[in-house]
């Protein structure tokens, strides 16, 4: 790069650009030197400025009211003139007669590059929340990646002059290790992660540490923590505390498994017992009505057999039942029939249809009923109801003999005609 012909006046026309491949902050000088002097900072009006995409050119120059900075974002490739760079109008132009050099420091800042820092945290004690007295030595290794997004904040927090990337990375590394260690130590308690499982939670822990430290790095260094990758979380498996913790954890897991199995067996046994009882109750419930019917049927059967001894009716042909006994028997029989019918209805769960015909019976002034045709047929078969009884049903004008009522013809048993004489 050529120097100004007169070193007191400044250099020749320059191309202001950054050719560094890996950098975060680069200071431009006409001669490529690193010192900041009046001669090195002399920039002639008419020089060209080239700022690549993803780069920022920062012009730092002195004003009457103090230092001032102008920011020019790439991509741009222009000649420095007042018309092209109105932002520099106060230092370019008539004050130097259009040809005299002006004084400014120019820094290029890399906005597109990602800077990686490998770090390692030496062994430190980590405590399981269940065993607070067993410190397990743990070491962590990984890589953090950052870039610049808020360049004004970065420039405000860091000196651009004599900026050294290695020194800057060392500062970030020391800060990160100190902060990350305090975060990781508390993760078992804060996230309820047992120490014995912490090596398997490496991705989850990476996200936790990144979330905790992202804001701190922005506030202290003006950088954006783009990514954090923990490659290793290593426990000292030879340490006595690790061996003791592993044994205690295994014992707890065994006890828990045994307890769970016992509880499962007890629950299964209790469940089986309840299911069996429910099954038995279900069978009993389903058979209860039938059983009840059988029991009551036996009682009613015995009672019905005793009805025949209550007396015959004297119809003028000699012998017969006592009329009062007959009426009582018929009433009881009717009640028995109704009870039997009700029991059957309870079993079937369907009420019987209403009887089509129902007759009242009268004998010697004693009235009973009403009885349906089936009941009258049973009474007739037992001899308790004959054709000589008077009957009445709804719709009849008065009492009539049973043998005169058309609906009762089939109630009485057929009597064969007398045998032929020889």
pLDDT of residue 60: 86
pLDDT of residue 375: 82
pLDDT of residue 338: 61
pLDDT of residue 312: 47
Helix (H) / strand (E) element for 277: namely helix 240-307
Alpha carbons 18 and 110: distance in angstroms, whole number: 10
Per-residue pLDDT of the chain (422 residues; tens, 9 = 90+): 222 233 333 444 578 899 998 899 999 887 655 555 555 566 766 778 999 999 999 988 776 666 678 899 999 998 877 666 666 655 554 444 444 567 788 999 999 989 999 999 999 999 988 888 889 999 999 999 999 999 999 999 998 988 999 999 999 999 999 999 999 999 999 998 989 889 999 999 999 999 999 999 999 999 999 999 999 999 999 999 999 988 887 666 565 555 555 555 555 556 666 666 655 555 444 454 545 555 555 655 555 555 454 444 444 444 444 555 555 555 555 555 565 556 555 555 555 565 567 888 887 677 887 888 888 788 888 777 788 788 888 888 888 888 888 787 778 776 566 667 66
Phi, psi of 215 (to 5 degrees): -65, -40
| Cα–chain center distance at 175 | 39
Q: DSSP H helical segments within 191-239, as ranges?
A: 202-221
Helix (H) / strand (E) element for 134: namely strand 131-147
Phi, psi of 80 (to 5 degrees): -75, 105
Alpha carbons 2 and 194: distance in angstroms, whole number: 66
Which tokens sit at 169? 């990375």
Q: Among residues 409, 385, 245, which one has the least CA distance to residue 327?
A: 385
249, 199 contact by CB (below 8 A)? no
pLDDT of residue 400: 86
pLDDT of residue 135: 92
| Cα–chain center distance at 310 | 79
Alpha carbons 177 and 181: distance in angstroms, whole number: 6
Name residues whose C-beta falls within 8 Å of residue 155's C-beta, 6 or more positions apart in sequence.
58, 69, 109, 222
Bond from prior residue into 134 cis (ω within 30 degrees of 0): no
Could you tell me the strand order of the sheet in which 76-79 lies? Answer: 15-16, 48-51, 76-79
Q: Which residues is 67 bridged to in the sheet?
A: 62
pLDDT of residue 259: 56
198, 235 contact by CB (below 8 A)? yes
pTM of structure: 0.54
Which tokens sit at 171? 């500062």
Which tokens sit at 161? 């002059």
pLDDT of residue 67: 63
102, 92 contact by CB (below 8 A)? yes
Alpha carbons 13 and 210: distance in angstroms, whole number: 47
pLDDT of residue 13: 59
Q: Under DSSP, is residue 129 helix (H, G, I), strand (E, B) or coil?
A: coil
């Amino acid at each position: 790069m050529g120097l100004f012909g007169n070193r007191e006046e400044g250099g020749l026309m320059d191309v202001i650009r950054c050719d560094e491949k890996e950098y975060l902050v680069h200071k431009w000088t006409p001669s490529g030197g690193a010192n900041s002097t009046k001669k090195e900072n002399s920039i002639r009006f008419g020089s060209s400025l080239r700022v690549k995409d993803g780069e920022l050119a920062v012009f730092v120059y002195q004003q009457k009211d103090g230092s001032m900075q102008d920011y020019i974002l790439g991509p741009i490739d222009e000649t420095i003139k007042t018309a092209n760079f109105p932002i520099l109008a106060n230092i370019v132009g008539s004050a130097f007669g259009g040809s005299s050099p002006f004084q400014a420091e120019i820094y290029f800042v890399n906005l597109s590059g990602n800077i990686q820092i490998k770090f390692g945290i030496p062994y430190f004690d980590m405590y399981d929340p269940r065993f607070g007295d067993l410190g397990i030595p743990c070491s962590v290794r990984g890589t953090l990646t950052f870039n610049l997004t808020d360049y004004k904040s970065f420039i405000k927090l860091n000196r651009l002059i004599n900026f050294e990337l290695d020194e800057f990375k060392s500062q970030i590394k020391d800060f990160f290790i100190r902060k990350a260690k305090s975060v990781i130590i508390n993760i078992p308690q804060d996230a309820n992660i047992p120490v014995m499982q912490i090596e398997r939670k490496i991705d989850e822990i990476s996200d936790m540490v990144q979330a905790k430290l992202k804001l701190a790095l922005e506030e202290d260094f003006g950088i954006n923590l783009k990514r954090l990758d923990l490659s290793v979380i290593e426990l000292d498996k030879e340490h006595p505390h690790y061996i003791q913790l592993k044994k205690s954890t295994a014992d707890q897991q065994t006890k828990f498994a045994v307890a769970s199995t016992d509880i499962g067996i007890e629950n299964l046994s209790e469940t089986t017992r309840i299911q069996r009882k429910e099954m038995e109750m279900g069978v009993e419930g389903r058979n209860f009505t039938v059983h009840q019917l059988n029991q009551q049927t036996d009682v009613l059967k015995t009672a019905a057999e005793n009805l025949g001894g209550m007396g015959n009716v004297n119809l003028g042909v000699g012998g017969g039942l006592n009329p009062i006994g007959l009426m009582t028997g018929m009433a009881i029989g009717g009640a028995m029939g109704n009870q039997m019918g009700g029991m059957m209805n309870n079993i079937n769960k369907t009420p019987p249809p209403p009887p089509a015909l129902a007759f009242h019976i009268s004998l010697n002034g004693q009235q009973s009923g009403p009885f349906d045709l089936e009941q009258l047929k049973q009474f007739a078969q037992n001899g308790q109801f004959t054709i000589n009884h008077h009957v009445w049903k709804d719709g009849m004008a008065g009492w009539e003999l049973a043998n005169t009522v058309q609906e009762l013809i089939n109630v009485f048993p057929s009597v064969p005609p007398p045998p032929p004489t020889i």
